[in-house]
Amino acid sequence: MNAKDLFEYHCVTCHGSDGKGTKRGQALKAPNLSDANWQASRKDEEILNSIINGKNKMPRWSDKLKEEEIQSLARYVRKLAPQKRP
């Protein structure tokens, strides 16, 4: 599965396809992953670490997903940022 499919399969229930967060995700205090300020506030390692080990109500994924899948998801999260237009 590519990163987009993995995200659609495992993550959209809380984060939504666009990363803004569903009702369920927002109730659990999921951030808006597509927000530029949020993106700027996290290092790549922090994003990776949160997906691997979980964080508060965010489940851990190291039991369910392979390391390379988690890495591709961490890169995918970066693509949810607003696209800069020239």
Rg (CA), the chain: 12
DSSP single-letter state for residue 21: -
Residues 15-54 close enough to bind ligand HEC by CB under 6 A: 15, 25, 28-31, 42, 46-47, 50-51
* Main-chain phi, psi angles of 48, to 5 degrees: -60, -50
| Least distance between ligand HEC and beta carbon 18 (Å) | 13
In 3D space, the residue among 85, 84, 83 whose CA is nearest the CA of residue 18 turns out to be 83
Closer to ligand HEC by Cβ: residue 73 or 85: 73
Binding site for ligand HEC (CB under 6 A): 10-11, 13-15, 25, 28-31, 42, 46-47, 50-51, 55-59, 61, 73, 77
